[in-house]
Amino acid sequence: MKATYKKYNLDFKRPSGTSRGVLTQKETWFIILEEEDKSAIGECGILRGLSIDDVSNYEEILQWTCHNIHLGLDPLLKELVEFPSIQFGLEMAFKSLEIDDKFELFPSEFTQNKASIPINGLIWMGTPEFMSCQIREKIDAGFSCLKLKIGAIDFETEISLLKSIRKEFSVNDMELRVDANGAFKPSEALEKLKMLSEFKLHSIEQPIKQGQIQEMARLCEQTPLPIALDEELIGVFSVTDKAKLLQIINPQYIILKPSFVGGWSGSSAWIQVAKSHNVAWWITSALESNIGLNAIAQWTFTLGNNMPQGLGTGALFANNFDSPLQVKNATLRYDNKQIWNVNL
C-alpha cells in the first residue's frame, strides 16, 4: 500500500463571520491510498485556531502517517490520538479502499436517494442587513430550523433579529438555535441566556469559552434554555475523561464534529458516554469539503437521529468538489445520478 497527502485550500464564496473572526479561506488536507489497482481518499479537516491538532508540524505528522501506513488503521489511530483530524482522514481512506464505489462508504437508503437527512439552515454573523437577508433566504428555501451565529455584533441587535423571527414564526413553526462560539463572559452569560430564553430557543451552543468547567456546570444547572457543548469536547481523548466532563457539567446536549473528536470512532465513544448520562446529541460538519462532508453525512444517517443535523455546509465554497450531495427542502440528499469530480 502506498500513501501520499496533499493540501487544498477551500475558498469561501463570501466572507463568513464568527465570534472568532471572518473566514475567507479554509485549509484542508487529503490522504490518498493506493493498493494494486484501487485508490482511496480521506480528508483531514483541520480548522486553524480551533482544532486541537492545530500545530506547526502538522505536515510532518502527515508525512509520518503516510510513511507508516503499513502499520494498518487501528495501530495508526492509537498513535494519532492527539490528531483527531488525521484519525478521521485515515478512517475515511481505509473505509474507501474496502468498497467498490470509493465514495459510497455506508450504503443505505440515503445513498440510494430514497431518504434524506434533515438539516438546519446556518446564518453567519455580519451586519444586521446581511443576517436578515440570510434568514429570509433560508426561510424561502423551506428551512424550519435555523442556527444563528451570535456574539460578534451588538447583543441588542441580535436580540432584535430573533424577535423579528419570532414575530413571524411561532416555536411550532420555526426551531431556533444559536451558537455563541464561547463569546459570552461567565459573569454576563446567565443574564444573556435569560434574555435569549424569551424567544423559546431550542438551544445555545457553547455560551462561554471552553475550559471553564465549573462555570459551565453552574450555567447548565441554572440555565433557562438548553445548553449544547461544542468546543468543550475538543481535546478530551479518553472515555474516562469524556464521562468525567459530562458528569461535572451535565449539559442538555453535545454537538459532535468528527474532524475535531477523532472521526467515527471518537464520535461513537462520545455518543455512548452521552447516552449513559442522558445527554442528547447531534452531528455537525466542521467546514470540510464535500469529501469529508460525504463521509460524515453517510455515517450520520446510519445513527437514526431525527433531529436536524448541521450538515448544510457544502455550498459555502467556490471551489468545492462536484458531488451527489444536494440540499433540497431543508434536507441533505444524495442524488446518486450525479457523479463525483475530484481533481487534486
What is the side-by-side strand order in the sheet with 227-229?
121-123, 145-149, 175-179, 203-205, 227-229, 253-256, 280-283
DSSP 12: E
C-alpha cell at 284: 455537525
190 and 285 in a single domain? The answer is: yes
The three-class DSSP label of residue 7 is: strand
234 and 121 in a single domain? The answer is: yes
H or E stretch covering 27: strand 21-35
The reply to whether 247 falls in a domain is yes
pLDDT tops 80 at residue 120: yes
pLDDT, mean of residues 88-98: 97
The reply to whether 261 falls in a domain is yes
The reply to whether 201 falls in a domain is yes
46 and 128 in a single domain? The answer is: no
User: What is the spatial distance between Cα 29 and Cα 42, in angstroms, rounded to a whole number?
Assistant: 9
Share of the chain above pLDDT 90, in %: 86
pLDDT tops 80 at residue 20: no
- List the CATH number of the domain containing 247: 3.20.20.120
Active site residues: 149, 257
167 and 300 in a single domain? The answer is: yes
pLDDT confidence of residue 17: 66
62 and 141 in a single domain? The answer is: no
Write the pLDDT tens digit of every residue in 141-193. 999 999 998 887 789 999 999 999 999 999 999 999 999 999 999 999 999 99
Domain edge (last residue) among 42, 66, 98:
98
Write the pLDDT tens digit of every residue in 27-71. 999 999 999 999 999 999 999 999 999 999 999 999 999 999 999
pLDDT confidence of residue 18: 64
